[in-house]
Amino acid sequence: MSDRITPMSMFDYDARPVTPGVVLVGTRASRGAYAIRDFLTRNGYPFEWVDAEQPDAVAAVLGAPDLEPSALPLCILPDGSRLAAATVEQIAAGLGMIAAPSLAEYDLVIVGAGPAGLAAAVNAASEGLRTVVVEAVAPGGQAGTTSMIQNLLGFPDGISGSELATRAVVQARRFGAELLLARPLADVSADGPGYVARLSDGTLVRGGSLLFASGVDWRRLDVPGIDDLLGAGVYYGAGPSEALACTGSQVVVVGGGNSAGQAVVRFSRYAQQVTLLVRGRDLGASMSQYLIDHLSAIPNVEVRVRTQVAGLEADDRLRGIIVRSGDGSEPVQMPADALFICIGGNPRTDGAAGIGLATNAAGYLVTGPDGAGDRDGSWPLPREPLPLETNRPGVFAAGDVRCGSVKRCAAAIGEGSMAVALVHRRLAEVNGG
């Protein structure tokens, strides 16, 4: 049986597409299948998941119960075409998500479509700048997987990260900004006073200025055997595609920030028990108080401070974890069907090295006169770098990827918006305006 969502009310019929979606056949323990589920979920693309180990379900969609393992994950696109051993890139192309840039050159190329990047896109496009956003996976960034942001100005009832991203994308496009999705940035090179960004598929995007709003990747957890279980019970990030599959199971979330807290809220509605493991002494240092209060009111949530994952137990997928406590007691085993690691962050600066962007020791992009101006003598102009400007004139950074940024959605939105005023100054400098 596939885990097709059973509609619960007439309202549910109104809130789903009537045309065919994507069908994805794979095994739960497959890393490739997880990557596709994650990609489709984060892009809000409806799909039906069919477990390849359930012959009846496979027969229902393919007409035959057997399937060559080499064909997995198998994807059936809405037009009926089939992709064997499907990849995210093939599916993105098959769904028509890969657009070419419409202009030969832009005023501003934004790397990353999280809150900082989208805020920059809305502000830049609304002020008449020719604006393009390049995004590796899906709009929303880390905030995009957040179940409910309660403290964003203007949303007294809260707003989900995906809805915030949806609205921002509509707003950015309405002002004329372009979005190039589903392709990571490969590298950046200088091009006169401007820059050329090359995407993973070879697409070139030229811009008079560049904004890195590329955010952070989850920090890898250093536990033996963890890489073998990626997608098979171990996930980096909040894993929104896995929420339904966690129904009735034991879920462990690692991390002390708001993203970890939001993941716990999400999974608590499906899982039998959710345990949050926090390395620090308390949550107050890293998590918003409203989330801490929320977590403490959920009956099937347990928060364990001063703990960390010391080992994993698995067969073909995760079955349990070994938890070590900071009080020096013996490590203990606890059952776990899924482990979500939400520890920020490794700054995403792929492509930045090509133009020699300065970073701090942890890899965050340094900006402004205090950071970027005096590090290594690489700043070429007589003026000092503008706030949010890196050590390359016209290359800016905003949001989580920037050294010294406040790791909050509202702060990222503020920085993205602010960057646009600085981009104007840089373009005026170059164009003699």
Partner 1 sequence: MADRPAVAAPEVAVSAEFAGLASAERIATAAAALHRNGIDSHVTGSGAEARRLVSSLLPDGAEVYNNTSQTLEAIGVADDIERSGRYQPLRLRLYRMDREMQRREMRTLSASPEYVVGSVHALTEAGSLLIASASGSQLGPLVSGAGHVILVVGAQKIVSDVPTGTRRIYEYCFPLEDARARRAYGVPSGVNNILIINNVVTPGRVTAIIVNERLGF
> What's the CA gap between 426 and 433, in Å, rounded?
10
Angle (CA) 168-46-31 rounded to 5° is 100
- Pick the piece of the chain touching partner 1 (CB under 8 A) from 109-117, 156-164, 351-359, 392-400: 156-164
Is residue 4 at the binding interface for partner 1, with CB under 8 A as the rule? no
CB of 117 to partner 1, least distance (A): 19
Q: Which of residues 370-399 bind partner 1 (CB under 8 A)?
A: none
**Mask of contacts with partner 1, 91-130, x by CB under 8 A?**
-----x----------------------------------
Is residue 160 at the binding interface for partner 1, with CB under 8 A as the rule? yes
Q: List all residues 6 or more positions away from 269 whose beta carbon is below 8 Å from its beta carbon.
A: 243
Is residue 162 at the binding interface for partner 1, with CB under 8 A as the rule? yes
Cα dist from 20 to 16, 36, 46, 47, 48, whole Å: 10, 18, 9, 9, 10
Tokens encoding 431: 């164009």
> What's the CA gap between 130 and 423, in Å, rounded?
12
> What's the CA gap between 35 and 33, in Å, rounded?
5
Q: Which is nearer to partner 1, 261 or 347 (CB)?
A: 261
CB of 340 to partner 1, least distance (A): 17
Q: Which is nearer to partner 1, 217 or 242 (CB)?
A: 242
Whether 290 and 150 have beta carbons less than 8 Å apart is answered as yes
Is residue 64 at the binding interface for partner 1, with CB under 8 A as the rule? no
Is residue 327 at the binding interface for partner 1, with CB under 8 A as the rule? no
Is residue 281 at the binding interface for partner 1, with CB under 8 A as the rule? no
CB of 308 to partner 1, least distance (A): 30
Single out the residue of 74, 72, 81 nearest to residue 20, CA to CA: 81
CB of 341 to partner 1, least distance (A): 23
> What's the CA gap between 421 and 418, in Å, rounded?
6
Is residue 70 at the binding interface for partner 1, with CB under 8 A as the rule? no
Whether 355 and 195 have beta carbons less than 8 Å apart is answered as yes
> What's the CA gap between 116 and 164, in Å, rounded?
12
CB of 297 to partner 1, least distance (A): 14
Q: Which is nearer to partner 1, 15 or 297 (CB)?
A: 15
Is residue 250 at the binding interface for partner 1, with CB under 8 A as the rule? no
**Mask of contacts with partner 1, 164-203, x by CB under 8 A?**
--x---x--xx-----------------------------
Q: Which residues bind partner 1 (CB under 8 A)?
A: 6-8, 10-19, 44, 46, 78, 96, 147-148, 157-158, 160, 162-163, 166, 170, 173-174, 269
